[in-house]
């Protein structure tokens, strides 16, 4: 699509149904409003950390191009893929609040989502660790004869880590059914792409490793959808890894710990937001087909905002997980040092009860 939502090459028309297209657009709107609410919540001290997806919402198209049984290894901005697969607002809010219903049992920072039922591996903080893990998981799928692939998301900053190169080499030589999806949003936290590498983006690296590679407009949801479907076909049917480089622009700060005005002009950000907005492109495409209009827009934005705020309020009122979750699942059976640490914590709480806010935790520490 061009910036007016027109398909410039008829052969690339996605040929999708109204329900399918509207779902993707609604997920993009949901993600956008979710980011606004949770970013403000962090600024109010209600959650500890957050990362927005502003400007990169079109990556939801990649989730639509996969099979739901395909395994996903995400980085920091894959909330949209989870929403597309059915991750609920309650599950998302519970994770950001690290409460008793958090699927991760409160052990991860906010936005480090994971879902076994949705085949989404839990996100980890260290940069690029998921990339070689994805190659290994894809090799396991291949050996098992499973006709699915692995999708691995990362930013161009992660592609500067050694793990990136090891992962691509493993995938190429072992012929692993994995799709490497690089969101090149222009900034590795605060380092502009021009200062990060001298080569022509990330795509040229895939070619160097003998991997089928394509560069795509990362603000065009249908371009992303089309290339993901084609990449999946190669990965699943021929065990060929594929590298997709989606060129986009990060509208928001890297995270709530970042102030992007320190390294880029605000006008640049506003111009990108105004001139090449992924949501505006898709909305114009939908309106041209008479599948969307101003009334639908206003009604959906109002209703989903209420749903998000309801989930937000529910999650905020829940207790933190039981203190015992600090020690559970570390090993199959608790080791002597884990047992000793648990006993030591119990003794400290009993000795200094005023220093531990037990009322905030499930069971109030009584099961320790």
128 Cβ contact list (under 8 Å, min separation 6) = 154, 158, 159, 161, 162, 163, 164
Q: Are residues 246 and 210 in the same domain?
A: yes
Sheet holding 178-184, edge to edge: 120-121, 71-73, 150-155, 178-184, 242-247, 212-217
Query: Are residues 258 and 354 located together in one domain of the fold?
Result: no
Task: Kindly report, residue by residue over 193-217, the tens digit of the pLDDT.
Answer: 989 999 889 999 999 999 999 999 9
Q: What is the mean pLDDT of the chain?
A: 96
Helix (H, G, I), strand (E, B) or coil at 223: helix
Residues 275 and 328 in one domain: no
367 in a structural domain? no
CA angle 212, 217, 221 (to 5 degrees): 105
Distances (CA, A) of 42 to 29, 36, 168: 20, 10, 36
My answer on whether 327 and 313 are in the same domain is: no
3-state secondary structure of 189: coil
Whole-angstrom distance, CA of residue 311 vs CA of residue 38: 12
Region 10-20 average pLDDT: 97
Six token digits for residue 327: 């020690």
Q: Residue 106 — φ and ψ, nearest 5°?
A: 75, 15
Do 186 and 298 lie in one domain? The reply is yes
pTM (two decimals): 0.95
**C-alpha 94: how far from chain center:** 16
Kind of pairing, strands 120-121 and 150-155?
A: unpaired
Element (H, E) at 180: strand 178-184
Q: Which two tokens stand for residue 294?
A: 């101003």
Whether 280 and 350 map to the same domain: the answer is: no
CA 225 to each of CA 54, 92, 154, 220: distance values in angstroms, whole numbers, following the listed order: 19, 24, 17, 9
| 128 lies in some domain | yes
- Whichever domain contains 210, its CATH number is 3.40.50.970
Both 330 and 195 in one domain: the answer is no
Let me know if residue 3 belongs to a domain.
no
Nearest alpha-carbon partner for 72 in 90, 85, 61: 85
Helix, coil or strand: residue 335: coil
- Expressed as residue numbers, the domain containing 349 is 323-360
Q: What is the pLDDT of residues 214-227, one digit of tens each?
A: 999 999 999 999 99
Please indicate, yes or no, if residue 27 is contained in any of the structural domains: yes
Same domain, 184 and 204: yes
Residue 1 lies in a domain: no
Domain count, the chain: 2
Q: Same structural domain for residues 157 and 299?
A: yes
pLDDT tier at 99, thresholds 50, 70, 90:
very high
Same domain, 125 and 268: yes
DSSP state of 322: P
Is 65 among the domain residues?
yes
Average pLDDT (186-191) is 93
Is 130 in the same domain as 27?
Answer: yes
Any domain includes 5: no
pLDDT tens figures, 115-160: 999 999 999 999 999 999 999 999 999 999 999 999 999 999 999 9
Number of other CB atoms surrounding residue 289 within 10 Å: 10
Same domain for 89 and 182?
yes
Token representation of residue 10: 């008829």
How many angstroms separate the CA atoms of 119 and 71, rounded? 5
Q: Which two tokens stand for residue 197?
A: 């590498």
The two tokens of residue 32 are: 């956008």
């Amino acid at each position: 699509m061009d910036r007016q939502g027109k398909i410039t090459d008829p052969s690339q028309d996605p040929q999708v149904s109204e329900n399918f297209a509207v779902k993707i657009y609604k997920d993009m709107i949901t993600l956008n409003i979710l980011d606004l609410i949770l970013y403000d919540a962090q600024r109010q001290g209600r959650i500890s950390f957050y990362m927005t997806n502003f400007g990169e919402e079109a990556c939801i198209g990649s989730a639509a191009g996969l099979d739901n049984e395909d395994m996903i290894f995400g980085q920091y901005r894959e909330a949209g893929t989870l929403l597309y697969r059915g991750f609920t607002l309650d599950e998302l809010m519970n994770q950001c609040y690290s409460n008793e219903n958090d699927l991760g049992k409160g052990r991860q920072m906010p936005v480090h989502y994971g879902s076994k039922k949705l085949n989404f591996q839990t996100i980890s903080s260290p940069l690029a660790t998921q990339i070689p893990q994805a190659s290994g998981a894809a090799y396991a799928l291949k050996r098992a004869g499973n006709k699915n692939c692995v999708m691995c998301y990362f930013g161009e900053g992660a592609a500067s880590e050694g793990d990136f190169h090891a992962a691509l080499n493993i995938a190429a030589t072992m012929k692993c059914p994995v799709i490497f999806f690089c969101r090149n949003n222009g900034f590795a936290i605060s380092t502009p792409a021009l200062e990060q590498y001298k080569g022509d983006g990330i795509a040229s690296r895939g070619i160097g490793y003998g991997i089928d590679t394509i560069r795509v407009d990362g603000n065009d949801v249908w371009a992303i959808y089309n290339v993901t479907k084609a990449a999946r076909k190669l990965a699943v049917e021929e065990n060929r890894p594929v590298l997709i480089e989606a060129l986009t622009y990060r509208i928001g700060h890297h995270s709530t710990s970042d102030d992007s005005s320190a390294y880029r002009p605000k006008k640049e950000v506003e111009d990108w937001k105004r001139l090449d907005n992924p949501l505006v492109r898709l909305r114009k495409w939908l309106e041209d087909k008479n599948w969307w209009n101003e009334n639908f827009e206003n009604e959906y934005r109002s209703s989903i905002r209420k749903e998000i705020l309801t989930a937000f309020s529910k999650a905020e009122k829940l207790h933190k997980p039981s203190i015992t979750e600090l020690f559970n699942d570390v090993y199959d059976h608790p080791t002597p040092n884990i047992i000793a640490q648990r006993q030591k914590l119990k003794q400290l709480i009993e000795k200094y009860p005023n220093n531990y806010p037990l009322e905030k935790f499930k069971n109030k520490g009584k099961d320790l």
